Amino acid sequence: MGNSEKIIASNKKAFHDYHILEKFQAGIALTGTEIKSIRAGMVNLKDSFAKIEKSEVWLYKSHISKYEKGNIYNHEPERKRKLLLTKQEIAKLEVKLKGAGQTLVPLKLYLVNGWAKIEIGLAKGKKMYDKREDMAKKSAKREMERETKQRY
For residue 90, give every residue at least 6 positions away whose Cβ sits within 8 Å of its Cβ, in sequence order, or none.
52, 55, 56, 57
- Domain boundaries, given as residue ranges, for the chain: 5-126
- Read off φ and ψ for residue 48, nearest 5 degrees: -85, 160
User: Which pLDDT score, from 0 to 100, does residue 85 have?
Assistant: 94
CATH class, domain 5-126, is: mainly beta
How far is Cα 150 from Cα 152, in angstroms, rounded to an integer? 6
Spacing of C-alpha 37 from chain mean position? 17
**Percent over 90 (pLDDT), the chain:** 43
Alpha helices, H only, 24-86: 32-39
Range scoring the smallest mean pLDDT among 1-5, 16-20, 41-45, 81-85: 1-5
On average, the pLDDT of the chain sits at: 88
Residues written for the chain: 152
- pLDDT tens column, 82-94: 999 999 999 999 9
Range scoring the smallest mean pLDDT among 39-53, 71-85, 102-116: 71-85
- pLDDT tens column, 6-32: 899 999 888 888 889 999 999 999 988
What's this model's pTM, rounded to 2 decimal places? 0.79
Residue 16 is classified by DSSP as H
